[in-house]
Structure 1
Amino acid sequence: MANKKGNRRNFGSVRQLTSGRWQVRYRDPETGLLRPAEKTYATKTDAQVALTHIEADITRGQWADPDAGAVNFTDYATAWLRDRKLADRTRERNESVVRLHIIPTFGAGSIADVTTARVRSRRGKLLAAGVGEPTVVKAYQLLRALMNTAVDDEMIRRNPCRIKGADSYDVPERPVLSVKEVFGVADAIAPRYQLLVLLAAFTTLRFGELAALRRKDIDLASRLVVVRRAQAELQDGRLFDKAPKSAAGVRAISFPAELLDDVTHHLEQFAAPGRDGHVFVGLKGGQLRRSNFRDDWVTAREAAGVTSELHFHDLRHTGNTLASTAGASTRELMTRMGHSSSRAALVYQHMTSDRDRAIADRLGAMIRQGGREEDPD
């Protein structure tokens, strides 16, 4: 377009185009060449103000190349996921969320095309479509992390994921069983899984931690269960053991003396042979899977008459509540549950303390008072 008239200055210039609008040109701080601004302006004053802002951004080191964000979103997201150091199961979950809930909206455009308004709209549509809130939150968190990297790469100036409250959700209160109800579920389930229920409730171990236990992880003399690893399952069905997420996840947990006979009986009757044999195995002797345990869990839950909302993981919540009732402090609860804390380096030593044994002993007293019926024989 022809230049009718302009106003040149050392840093850049403004000029009126044949359309009547005003164009800003300025020197690219990286190449030194004149380049036009991304848009034109209705008045000369507006153009001069825009030029002043661009010059200020460059002076402060806050200028970003407008063309940098032109990279295709899908290409950038794919490379971003590929280059992240993630555990196999976490990588699989993240890739699934990006593929199903992020790429369909932003994949065809560029990084610069992702705006706060579009992020807000996508979040609302996912919730309206009935996608679970935890999944929607996870999608938002991943998108925000990706766009943070784009900011670091100087592809965009500001992260568009700035929606208040979008990175969290209210977790509904989970059911808590009484000691008697815990034993009711344990008595109702197949014998090979009774100890699984009891340890989940009275040591607060996760399903994956229980499934990964070996015989050598059980110390009958000291009444300890040592957690060294956790089982994970990929979408293709492959099982593998992984290290805990933090040092605090490696821990030794005391179990009540009232469960010693249960533990001993289980090791004699159901555990796989050898020191490295799994403590819990499936009906045919294979590794324990959620899928081959689920039906037994649902049947036992119904037979025991507890709420149908009870998930196996709720036994962990129950155990935490019971331990708190037994007098465990917040720090002791975090250690028993394997949560990261400032004491992450403390692994076995702390957990073999008299204080932890006392917690287990008080849990045992609760079992005697309100849980298991005495064997008349």
Structure 2
Amino acid sequence: MPRKKNAPSRRRFGAVRQYRSGRWTASYRDAAGKEHRAPETFETKTDAEVWLTVTEADLTRGNWIDPDAGNVDFQTYALRWTDERGLMPTTDELYRRLLRLHLLPTFAALTLNEITAARVRTWHAERKQATGATTVAKSYRLLKAVLETAVEDDVIVRNPCRIKGAGKEEAEERPVATAEQVFELAELMGPRWRFMVFLGAFATLRPEELAELRREDVDLDKRTLRITEASPELNTGKRATGPTKSRAGKRTIHLPSFLDQALRQHMAWYAEKEPDGLLFVGEKGAPFRRTTFGRKFGKARAKVIDLPQNFTFYDLRHTGNTLLAEEGASLKDLMVRMGQSSVRAAMLYQHSTASRQRQLAAKLDTRVRSDTGRTPPTPPTPPAGVPSGAAVVRPIRRSI
């Protein structure tokens, strides 16, 4: 009996059939026996058969992905992704804020299959017009990480985040204070917070590490601080006390001797008296708050001559590390003192200032003079009869 015109053609793998419109479709069954149909129709029977051949090859090589797997919506997948990361509280807070403000408004209702490279490019261009470059870069990196996991989970075939350099932050270099400006800032902060400024600069401690520093972490005789925990303050005002940012964050800081008296005075006057008492508390005995401390810091900063108005407390850490680098501290020295496991982060403090370049030039001058015993060279006198360079420059002949 002749086969009907629109009946599926028999193939070793899958089947193709023609619609009344004249276009063709293709279908197949996976290893579990579940039927799948091509997501689009084809102009010719050959196009449909080619699509089936490619699909069969993917199944054979193990590259096949269930097309229905990517039907989960981005919001569900991204929030589950965040829950499963086991992130530090501050990182978790950052990711959820980036999702809420910058990613979910665009991608929440889309399935993972619907997030295309074109849609990502459009979103990226719109975000660049609406917010800062650093926030856009962080949002893009988060989107790319979520979708990269979707690729690993065989939910989508390829990551649509393909914008070259979109995840790179081009942040401006942090300002650096002089040692004199640090001392002036410390005095303006008042006696209770003076030593915190010193530790921010000359011990290069993070604010969250200072918040959790306790009396038992201090060795007055050896002049050392033991850093084991941190207490970052979340946007809710709560502190998320726990381990340091990384394993490298657990370290012992040796203080310079000029801080010896300031350390002993602060321990005697302002630190809590219990063995596990906090080193820094407010006038009423409560742990210091970021907002209150920030206002006090801003007022003091405004009174320091030539200190940039964008100088933050965290820039004290940058200042101290820059001073150490200029004194010859190696990259490894800086990494240990900062509690950094990343070479890239430590390299931020290896920049060379104009004053440092002048110092190097002066040191080179002294070294060469010492090694050679030479005095500064004087310009040679040209031999008699030889014209100067200016004399041999001929005027340009112009045509009329």
- Taking structure 1 as the reference length, the TM-score comes to 0.85
Aligned position for 2:313: 312
| Equivalent position to 1:13, from 1, 15, 26 | 15
SS of 2:240's partner is: strand
Matched, 1:323 2:314: no
Alignment of 1:135-150 (within 5 A): 135-150=135-150
Alignment of 1:12-91 (within 5 A): 12-31=14-33, 33-91=34-92
Aligned AA for 2:42? Y
Q: CA contact under 8 A between 2:134 and 2:170: conserved in structure 1?
A: no
Q: CA contact under 8 A between 2:25 and 2:37: conserved in structure 1?
A: yes
Measure the CA separation in 2 of the matches of 1:197 and 1:88. 25
Measure the CA separation in 2 of the matches of 1:186 and 1:307. 16
Q: CA contact under 8 A between 1:282 and 1:292: conserved in structure 2?
A: no
Measure the CA separation in 1 of the matches of 2:40 and 2:32. 20
How many Å apart are 1:285 and its aligned residue?
Answer: 1.9
Aligned position for 1:116: 117
Which aligned runs of 4 or more in structure 1 are off by greater than 6 angstroms? Answer: none
Measure the CA separation in 1 of the matches of 2:5 and 2:209. 72
Matched, 1:4 2:6: yes
Measure the CA separation in 2 of the matches of 1:76 and 1:35. 23
**What is the RMSD of the two structures over their aligned residues, measured on CA atoms?**
1.8
Aligned AA for 1:44? K
SS of 2:15's partner is: strand
Aligned AA for 2:165? G
Aligned position for 2:282: 282
SS of 1:233's partner is: coil
Measure the CA separation in 1 of the matches of 2:55 and 2:258. 73
- Taking structure 2 as the reference length, the TM-score comes to 0.81
Alignment of 1:1-377 (within 5 A): 4=6, 7-31=9-33, 33-129=34-130, 131-305=131-305, 306-340=307-341
* Runs of 5+ consecutive residues of structure 2 not aligned to the other structure: 344-400
Q: CA contact under 8 A between 2:248 and 2:340: conserved in structure 1?
A: yes
Aligned AA for 1:258? F
Q: How many residues align?
A: 339
Q: CA contact under 8 A between 2:251 and 2:337: conserved in structure 1?
A: yes
Aligned AA for 1:87? M
How many Å apart are 1:34 and its aligned residue?
Answer: 4.5
SS of 2:17's partner is: strand
* Runs of 5+ consecutive residues of structure 1 not aligned to the other structure: 343-377
SS of 2:192's partner is: helix
SS of 1:240's partner is: coil
How many Å apart are 1:90 and its aligned residue?
Answer: 2.4
Q: CA contact under 8 A between 2:233 and 2:240: conserved in structure 1?
A: yes
Measure the CA separation in 2 of the matches of 1:135 and 1:213. 31
| Percent identity over paired residues | 45
Measure the CA separation in 2 of the matches of 1:246 and 1:233. 17
Measure the CA separation in 1 of the matches of 2:74 and 2:311. 41
How many Å apart are 1:6 and its aligned residue?
Answer: 5.5
SS of 1:26's partner is: strand
Looking at both structures, which has the greater relative contact order when contacts are Cα pairs under 8 Å and sequence separation is at least 6? Answer: 1
Measure the CA separation in 2 of the matches of 1:299 and 1:48. 74
